[in-house]
Amino acid sequence: METKTNRLHFIDAMRAWAILMMLQGHFVDGLLDPVYRDPGNGIYSVWRYFRGITAPVFFTVSGF
């Protein structure tokens, strides 16, 4: 007998994304040479933005 669940797969996908972003953020932050931490660099700025929203997304979707 199968039980139908009301899981929201989007929430699971966001949870997985947040976990992966948290891991890569910590790895990159720990390994990135200070020479490459240039706020004027577009790629670094985008990475920092996503690094900043990772923890709030993680805690928000974990609560769901």
42-56 burial code (b ≥16 CB/10 A, e <16)? eeeeebeeebeebee
What are the tens digits of pLDDT across the range 21-38?
999 999 999 999 999 999
CA gap 15, 39 in Å, rounded: 28
Task: Decide if pLDDT at 2 tops 70.
Answer: yes
Please state the rounded mean pLDDT for residues 47-55: 93
What are 5-18's pLDDT values in tens digits?
A: 888 889 899 999 99
